[in-house]
Amino acid sequence: MTKIVNIKKGLDISIRGNAVESAPIDVTPATCAIIPDDFPGITPKVDVKEGDEVVVGSTLFHDKAYPDVKVTSPVAGKVTAIVRGERRKLERIVITPGTSPSTSLDFEVNNIDDRTRASRLLLDSGLWAWMRQRPYDIVPNPGVTPRDIFITGFDSAPLAPDFEMMLDGKQKELSAAVALLKKFTDGDIYIGIHEGSCLEAIDGVETIIMNGPHPAGNVGVQICNVKPVNKGETVWTMDALTLLRIGKLATSGSLDMTVTAALTGCEVTEPHYINTIAGADMKSVLKGAVNNDDIHHRVISGNVLTGIPVGEEGYLRFPYRQVTVIAEGDDFAEFMGWASLSPQKMSVNRSFPGHFFRHKFCPDARILGGRRAMIMSGVYEKVMPMDILPEYLIKAIIARDIDRMEQLGIYEVAPEDFALCEYVDPSKLELQKIVQEGLDYLRKELS
Amino acid sequence: MKSLRKYLDRIKPDFEPGGKFHAFQSVFDGFETFLFTPTTTSRSGVNIHDSLDSKRVMIIVVLALIPCLLFGMYNTGYQHWLAIGATSFPFWHLLGYGFLALLPRLIVSYIVGLGIEFVVAQWRKEEIQEGFLVSGILIPLICPIDIPLWMLAIATAFSVVFVKEVFGGTGYNIFNVALVTRAFLFFAYPSQMSGDKVFVSTGSICGLGEGAVVDGFSGATPLGQVASNVGDTITLTNIVGDKLSYWDMFLGLIPGSVGETSTLCILIGAAILLITGIASWRIMFSVFAGGLIMGAIAHAFPTPDYPATMLTPLEQVTLGGFAFAAVYMATDPVTASRTNPGKYIYGFLIGVIAIIIRTYNNGYPEGAMLAVLLMNSFAPLIDYTVVQSNIRRRMRRLKAKV
């Protein structure tokens, strides 16, 4: 069955540096790193020592509360560093790939006919940790049965990679993954897609055709417009690339942790796609790809809205599908920028002439103003296609008022749903951070 | 610009903690961020930001007020020339006179208001907030031209401290700062704020506009004339007794508070605010809708007991501070309703109440100020009901499941 959702609110930010669709270039990383912060909800207990040999699928660390939930190695090689930060917090586990980096453990994939065996497969392979659940936007709790499973079939964020290229021709694996996931829920499996997507042909799923600007591709928006999460319910979410990975595991028994990522942004000389391994180091990824100018760069793992600035020494981080390089902007003195009429200034506001041009912009990372109280009203609503009152929810979160947060729909949202609000906010508030802290607080208080 | 940037970089350490001017850090910071866009980059969340910031927002509102400001200056001169019985109206003399009359009021309002803002910002170790850039120009525009400067200073100080800063500064206030300034003056010094003397500047300034006031002069505003009208018909006149045409009222060559007389200039300002999307069209539209509807109801039942009922709805929204309040006061986002459905209710009630006060309370010839202040206090309640309906929807969904 197909459902069509038309979204009017939202914003497609037009930035230069879209990756051209051609054959991806292979990049062999010098090192790979797995970063526990990428798997929210997990308190890591390390299972390896420096110097251990691992293969794809070997457990690197597991969760303290649910030891069955594991994060596994994306590459075969040797553990070269276990980096800890303040108060011995595990920051990352670094693995240097060996001679055959794709050697994988063999997983038992025959006779998976019930939920127990299906969860064993996902938990042992580590792919469980690649899924997320609402509420809280964390790695799913293995003790809870999801009401439904929502999969987003496209990424609508600025300069995001095109999933179709990676999914086309993989119907067999995708169907196998759907069959596996069916064992987890009595509800439905929904896939949010664009019209004409190759995902339309998959059996056993409810397709949602999403029309409209970003954040149409955010799974939270899809859930909210189809079947919102109520208090006490749990919904699993993932992207179609994770679905494909589960499908590959279910059909072949070996784990494939290679990723296709888009290398994008104004400061990338020739934006293109690369084939590499999850957690690849940025030095290898960016080698020779970034503009050789003397301005400061910001290397972002992910897109400009939700991505993490990792620097040139950093690593490709979850969800392992995009790298954006833009100017940092802290070395740029702009005289009276607030009065500027330059068409290069990017804004949703019509007082900037750039608003009326159809060209692509090259924004930098400055916040372009000062932090203020919420002054303007109604700006968040314009880019929030969910039945949520963003301003009031944010205020409830800041006040740490749990009842109010619940009433205003905290269980339906993830930080990424507030990314556009944060982008357009003239008061420059850190909305995603506020929402993240609110979710963490709620989880701590209610557990 | 490079040398300016270098100069700022050189003197910056003096203003940082430990430097010799550290007590002026917020002031320095205010000027630095005014001159150069801050180089702060995002530390969490989104990596890029929209170019719109609160400086830009405030400056657009100031820009939208410029037509009213310039016309207010011209009209101040025009009313004066009219009052001294002049037969020719030299444009630059009129404007110069108005400029000289208004300038001290602008300066007093900005020095008092911004001074308090600077001190409080430094005390709280915060950046200077831009809110008063708008209030500072609004205050002289909504006061009669002949208001003594010391009154203006006291009212501004009262308003900035007790309406804004005690609540936490720009963005936290419940009532519109400029309107409370005017309300303070209105209730504390009623004789200087109403009557038929204060709305026309009669003295000469720096040798400009010398001459005695002619016989038969009455500086009563049209609404003042309405309030004291006796009989079944109303004839509005200008200050020397000539009949006012509808065009005069629209253009604004009538006595009144400095900035509010010209509906034309207010509409130009409204266009600037709406095209840039800074002010809410929902509020603006519904204030006018409320005013016209209530004006039509009142006009349908004219009675000499309440002479303002004899004004047509169009006259109601053109005269007095109604249009000014609709465009610049009701749309203040901080004190207005913040939800979209709430904005319609909020605006509509401002329009209705302004006309009710003006028409059915002979004590107050004008009701726009009180209507906006009253609805400021009800805005949170309106929003509460809107938020509650969102919550109820969510709770019903939860119940339906169980």
Task: Kindly report which listed range (A374-388, B136-150, B181-195) carries the lowest average pLDDT score.
Answer: B181-195
Burial letters for B366-387: b for 16+ Cβ neighbours within 10 Å, e otherwise?
Answer: bbbbbbbbbbbebbeebbeebb
Which two tokens mark B164?
Answer: 């804004």
> What is the mean pLDDT of the segment spanning B287-312?
91
Nearest by CB to B47, from A298, A354, A375: name it.
Answer: A298
Nearest by CB to A347, from B44, B50, B397: name it.
Answer: B50
> What is the mean pLDDT of the segment spanning A357-380?
88
Q: With CB atoms and an 8 Å threshold, state whether B390 touches A387.
A: yes
**CA distance, residue B174 to nearest chain A CA (Å):** 12
| B17 pLDDT above the threshold of 90 | no
Domains and CATH numbers, chain A: 2-25+106-252 (3.40.50), 381-446 (no CATH)
Q: How many CB atoms lie within 10 A of CB B359?
A: 24
A341 vs B: CB within 8 A = no
pLDDT of residue B402: 65
Q: Which residues of B touch A363 (CB under 8 A)?
A: 48-49
Length of chain B as a residue count? 402
Q: Which residue has the higher pLDDT, B231 or A215?
A: A215
| B172 pLDDT above the threshold of 80 | yes
Residue B340: closest C-alpha in chain A: A378
Indicate yes or no: pTM above 0.90.
Answer: yes
B50 vs A: CB within 8 A = yes
Which two tokens mark B120?
Answer: 């409080």
A391 confidence band (pLDDT: 50, 70, 90)? very high
Residue A11: closest C-alpha in chain B: B50
pLDDT of residue A425: 93
- pLDDT-above-70 percentage for chain B: 99
| A366 pLDDT above the threshold of 80 | yes
A8 vs B: CB within 8 A = no
Global ipTM: 0.92
A161 confidence band (pLDDT: 50, 70, 90)? very high
Task: Kindly report which listed range (A4-18, B13-27, B245-259) carries the lowest average pLDDT score.
Answer: B13-27
Q: What is the pLDDT of residues B61-115, one digit of tens each?
A: 999 999 999 999 999 999 888 888 878 888 888 999 999 999 999 999 999 999 9
B91 vs A: CB within 8 A = no
Task: Please give the angle made by the CA atoms of A253, A73 and A42, to the nearest 5 degrees.
Answer: 105
A339 vs B: CB within 8 A = yes
Task: Kindly report which listed range (A139-143, B49-53, B222-226) carries the lowest average pLDDT score.
Answer: B222-226
Q: What is the pLDDT of residues B363-401, one digit of tens each?
A: 787 889 999 999 999 999 999 999 999 999 999 988 887
Q: Which residues of B touch A323 (CB under 8 A)?
A: none
Q: With CB atoms and an 8 Å threshold, state whether A298 touches B41.
A: yes
Class of residue A390 by CB neighbours under 10 A (exposed 0-12, middle 13-18, buried 19+): buried
Residue A422: closest C-alpha in chain B: B46
Q: Which residue type is seen at A418?
A: F
CA B151 to CA B148: how far, in whole Å?
Answer: 6
> What is the mean pLDDT of the segment spanning A402-406?
93
Q: With CB atoms and an 8 Å threshold, state whether B37 touches A336.
A: yes
A348 vs B: CB within 8 A = yes
- pLDDT-above-90 percentage for chain A: 72
Q: What is the pLDDT of residues A312-345, one digit of tens each?
A: 899 999 899 999 999 998 888 888 888 888 888 8
pLDDT of residue B21: 81
A101 vs B: CB within 8 A = no
Looking at chain B from residue 199 to 218, which residues have their Cβ under 8 Å from any Cβ of chain A? Answer: none
Q: With CB atoms and an 8 Å threshold, state whether B45 touches A332.
A: no
A13 vs B: CB within 8 A = yes
A161 vs B: CB within 8 A = no
Which two tokens mark A8?
Answer: 């009017």
> What is the mean pLDDT of the segment spanning B291-319?
90
| A254 pLDDT above the threshold of 70 | yes
Q: With CB atoms and an 8 Å threshold, state whether B49 touches A307.
A: no
> What is the mean pLDDT of the segment spanning A174-196?
92
